[in-house]
Chains A and B, each alone.
Chain A
Amino acid sequence: MANHDYVIANQNGANTRADLNNAFSAIVSNNSSASEPATKYAYMFWADTTADLLKQRNAANSAWIDILTLSTGAPATSGATEGTAIVSTGETGGTKYLREDGDGTSSWQSVVSDPAVGGDLSGTASNAQIVANAVGNAEMADDAIGVAELSATGTASSSTYLRGDNAWASVPAAGADTSLSNLSATGENKVCQAWVNFNGTGSVAIRDSYNVSSITDNGVGLYTMNFTNAMSNNDYALTGTTMVTNDSSWYNQPTVGYRQTTEPLATTSAKVNITEGNGGGYRDPTHVMLQVFGD
């Protein structure tokens, strides 16, 4: 370790020789020292044994430039100034970056200015994320993502499907009645709560119905529709129509109504009168069709 001011003083022969030897020692050791030389010159080397770095004085003799690591010979990059301590390969426009290669060396790599993804994705990533608007046009192969890779509650199987709330839900069994069971209370108000099609002639009989347990024949043109399950209140809407077969007189087409003094609508039943369309009396139609909407 040696430093020298590189000035040979006026002195006797022995001291001059010693002064020269000290200067040579400083030269051959690149001014190696734990502290910087007291006298510094532009472009002067300094083997900084404290920082384990070979440094060179800049042209203005105002600062040190890190050159390389003394113990390994690797280029010194810490605190380096672009274009000085690290020599670029000459490209313009910032097309390269210096990569640490993981083996004690480094190399210049090309910067990908528009990292468009093409080809197959491979590898693993435990926390990968596709950011918003990252993909403009992409196509996913049919088997790109298997069910096993989807995270959802429940059990994935041939009888379940993935719902919007990230849960595996069971597919309703074929033929299952899902018309009302899957409706909310509000939704039920939008569907027919009861309906019936019955024959009002001969022996009164129901052809088909929903939520209607029976029809009470009270007399000619007088019927009561009895509900299987009662309505919540009697503010429901009742509609109906009739048909009469083998009668071509339009004015004889019966109408559904009610003209008695008692309340026709109850939670358990609804009464109707069927009258002739020409203002005549009660009439038994071949087809009476009634529907109920409400709570």
Chain B
Amino acid sequence: MNRIIYQTTDGVAVIAPSDKVTIEFCIKDVPTGAKYKIVDTSDVPSDRAFRDAWEVTPDATWSTK
């Protein structure tokens, strides 16, 4: 299963899809104008001790909603 990550003013948001829809369907849940990327679940840290300190730097591989 994949995740969608996008950059927010406070850090990083991670979209976890339902198994009833595709990851592509969940792109609708990305805020308009936000840069996002579909990643493997394993690429998202499971240690949430410093969850609010997560940061990402979008590059050319990211898409814009």
A77 to B24 Cα, complex, angstroms? 97
Q: Give Cα distance in the complex from A205 to B44, angstroms.
A: 12
B18 in complex: contacting residue of A213, A217, A218, A284, CB < 8 Å: A213
A196, A201, A209, A213: the one within 8 Å of B29 (CB): A213
A202 and B21 within 8 A (CB):
no
- Binary contact readout A186-228 vs B (1 if CB under 8 angstroms, 0 otherwise): 0000000000101001111110010011111111100010101
Contact, CB under 8 Å: A219 / B20: no
Give the docked Cα–Cα distance between A136 and B49 (Å).
79
- B residues within 8 A CB of A203? 3, 16, 41, 44, 46
A255 at the interface (CB under 8 A from B): no
In-complex Cβ contact of B14 among A213, A216, A269 (8 A): A216
Q: How far is the CB of B20 from chain A (nearest CB, A)?
A: 7
Closest chain A residue to B22 by CB distance? A213
A196 vs B8: C-alpha distance when bound (angstroms): 24
B52 & A198 in contact (Cβ 8 Å cutoff): no
Partner of A284, one of B13, B17, B48: B48
Q: Are B52 and A215 in contact (CB under 8 A)?
A: no
Answer yes or no: B10 CB below 8 A from chain A CBs. Answer: yes
Q: Is the CB of A219 within 8 A of B21?
A: no
Q: How far in angstroms is the closest Cβ of chain B from A11?
A: 129
The residues of A that contact B19 with a CB separation of less than 8 Å are 206
Q: In the bound complex, what is the Cα–Cα distance between A218 and B11 (angstroms)?
A: 8
**Can you list 8 residue pairs at the A/B interface with Cβ under 8 Å?**
A198-B16, A201-B48, A203-B41, A205-B16, A214-B15, A218-B13, A226-B28, A284-B48
Knowing that A206-B19, A213-B21, A216-B29 are A-B contacts, what are 15 other residue pairs whose CB atoms are under 8 Å apart, sorted by A's residue number?
A: A201-B48, A204-B14, A205-B1, A206-B17, A206-B18, A209-B18, A212-B18, A213-B18, A213-B20, A214-B26, A219-B52, A220-B51, A226-B15, A228-B20, A268-B29
